[in-house]
Structure 1
Amino acid sequence: MEKLYDSYGRLHDYVRLSITDRCNLRCVYCMPKEGLPFFPTDKVLSQDEIVKLIENFSEMGVSKVRITGGEPLLRTDVVDIIRRIKDVDGIEDVSITTNGLFLAKKAKALKEAGLDRLNISLDTFKPDRYNEITRGGSIDQVLEGIEAASELNFRKIKLNVVLIKGQNDDEVLDFLEYTRNHNVNVRFIEFMPIGNPIKMWKKEYVGLDNVFKICEENDFKYDPIELKGNGPSDNYQISGFKGSFGLIHPISAKFCENCNRMRITADGYVKACLYWNEEIDIRKAIPDKKEFRRLIQKSLDNKPLNHEMAMDEADKIIDKAPTWRHMSQIGG
């Protein structure tokens, strides 16, 4: 088996696969207020295309797959997709990122299909604020979904918290306290300038050092821990707490040098780097393993060492503009 490496020698064994660009929320950092025109059904990868694509990747050494969206639980065949991916030889870990609104109804079926891990987006515990951030979501549905999933012995449940200045950065302590009695990993994530005007992003960006400060102010003793998985977070556990917390800082402390992932959009493009516009259409090549591999390797050969350096590598980056896609159209 010839595995996938980029020009910097980074092994790529992890695929993030968006199975839909549709979402039932309009989160302020993910989608414009007016929403987005969603792809017609025939433009989105079919279930059979998805499975064949993963079979191709498995033969290239990929062993970890994360299902993303939009909101992946909106696809009526999501359970079948997960079951079939889990049955592919060589795939060892299948996870999903969801907003959690349908999780209470689908958690048991997802577990039975073989889903290993869950990431749930949750930026606040306050009902009114949640409704404002998501432009219409119900926090009670999400919390119900987390409780339902917590009873099913998934390998790990992570809560994704995008910190935005003046919006939810006053709730860090609430999230830390949540790990006292809940065996989850709360991941604080820096707000990224993807699909957002730079001026707005600079105004709303907040670093993650404040998390440690709040721990110290509340006499929380914490230690670094190792968590199995594919995430780029630095993880810690507060003494005596059941859960843990993690920090994902793509802006202040870039993790690009260890990047091992490729992203496949719902309409069948591979993006080797989340931030830049460069992407290659691989949909037509899915039935042709040789051509499929050629295109994937081409994408990796063009992958920059990190997103900040990309602008300096003019000969390497084909399209040096930031991605036109919103986060909901990439899958994070």
Structure 2
Amino acid sequence: MTGTDLGIPRVPGARTAPDHTRPDDPSLIDSFGRVATDLRVSLTDKCNLRCTYCMPAEGLDWAPGEQVLSDDELVRLMDVAVRLLGVTDIRLTGGEPLLRPHLEDLVARITALRPRPRLSMTTNGIGLAKRAERFASAGLNRINVSLDSVRPETFARVTRRDRLRHVLDALAAARDAGLDPVKINTVLLRGVNEHEAPELLRFAVEHDYHLRFIEQMPLDAQHGWSRAEMITADEIFDLLGTEFTLTPSPTERGGAPAERWLVDGGPHEVGIIPSVTRPFCAACERTRLTADGAVRSCLFSTTETDLRGLVRQGADDDEIADTWRAAMWGKLAGHEINEAGFAQPIRPMSSIGG
């Protein structure tokens, strides 16, 4: 395995993988028995918003173009994933994936892979309204749109951009194009938008969108995350409970990150993702590929494995697959956010991919 040490010290006493030999298994199994079938692919680290919980107002130094995987390289690695490694689901992320040139063509190439993966995308929605039909025609199955407020002034405060109308149009266009279910991802910030939680849920129910609240994670470029400032899953539940009655959904959670609740008896649901306070690492089935070609077994990995170098050096598919398997075999039991001495990854979320 080709590893790149990111220079972050291991947490003392952290749980590590059992010391035993990897079985002769073609899947992306780790030493705790989890199997990664969900691949998150970052298409770019660039973004056209400047959300306060993600990056500074001036933005970041984007990766040079030659470091970013080409379309051919991306498709080849995704082909290895679905054909040799058992990946069944692919999600396109960023940065902002809509900034990737010729994205509709790339979607069509991905959905032509065999076996055909289920394909989704997470986006801020800016520019999606005019392209939603083309994405659906190219084979995109589902879409998640980030939206932290339906109030223009709050949206601008969080994103540092006056683009709410574009995001609302994107949601409607995605629904009309049949990209069902259309999901909304929301992060609540203390003193900024937490009081708007019921309003966001009313909006989602009225428009038949699937709303998911996500606990803010320590993945901001500024390293300014504070546990005391984070709105917890329990707080989110209580905020929603001021206007709605939430009861457990009968839908089996499986490896999904969200705890799902029926809204006023159903049929609408709301999800709450307790990434920090009730981590779901034991059921994790994800593997991640950064825009510059590194495999990460976890958002909070302290090491990553270079596949871009293998591709550009002429490695065959079997060598790439074996390297990927080895990277995932070493996955830790959990992200260790709640362990003493936790150190935030050097890479921010915009560079890792959501």
TM score, norm. by length of structure 1: 0.91
Shift of 1:193: 1.0
Alignment check: 8 A CA contact 1:192 1:201 kept: no
Higher normalized helix content (fraction of residues): 1
Question: Residues 115 and 99 from structure 1, CA distance in 2 versus in 1: closer, same or farther, beyond 3 angstroms?
Answer: same
Q: Which residue of 2 aligns with 1:39?
A: 63
Bigger Cα displacement from structure 2, 297-306 vs 188-197: 188-197
The amino acid across from 1:211 in the alignment is I
Shift of 1:215: 4.2
Question: Residues 139 and 227 from structure 1, CA distance in 2 versus in 1: closer, same or farther, beyond 3 angstroms?
Answer: farther
Question: Residues 301 and 142 from structure 1, CA distance in 2 versus in 1: closer, same or farther, beyond 3 angstroms?
Answer: same
Alignment check: 8 A CA contact 1:17 1:266 kept: yes
Deviations 1:72-111 (A, max 9, x none): 0011211111111111002331000000011101111110
Deviations 1:9-46 (A, max 9, x none): 10111110001111111111111222101112211110
Bigger Cα displacement from structure 2, 223-232 vs 92-101: 223-232
Distance in structure 2 (CA, Å) of the matches to 1:109 and 1:230? 30
Q: 1:292 aligns with which of 320, 328, 331?
A: 320
1:27 maps onto 2:55 in alignment: no
Deviations 1:99-129 (A, max 9, x none): 0011101111110010001010001111111
Distance in structure 2 (CA, Å) of the matches to 1:228 and 1:67? 22
- 1:1-332 equivalences in 2 (<5 Å): 2-58=26-82, 59-195=84-220, 200-226=225-251, 231-239=256-264, 243-286=268-311, 287-308=315-336, 322-332=344-354
Question: Residues 200 and 290 from structure 1, CA distance in 2 versus in 1: closer, same or farther, beyond 3 angstroms?
Answer: closer
Larger RCO, structure (CA 8 Å, separation 6 or more) = 2
The amino acid across from 2:278 in the alignment is A
Distance in structure 1 (CA, Å) of the matches to 2:101 and 2:198? 37
Bigger Cα displacement from structure 2, 2-11 vs 189-198: 189-198
Alignment check: 8 A CA contact 1:184 1:244 kept: no
Deviations 1:254-304 (A, max 9, x none): 101111111111000011010133111111223522221222122112210
Name the SS of the counterpart of 1:177 in structure 2: helix
Alignment check: 8 A CA contact 1:180 1:240 kept: no
Distance in structure 2 (CA, Å) of the matches to 1:102 and 1:197? 27
Q: Percent of aligned pairs with the same residue?
A: 36
The amino acid across from 1:328 in the alignment is S
RMSD, aligned CA? 2.2
- The number of residue pairs the alignment matches comes to 325
Alignment check: 8 A CA contact 1:276 1:321 kept: no
Shift of 1:231: 3.7
Q: Which runs of 5+ in 2 are unaligned?
A: 1-24
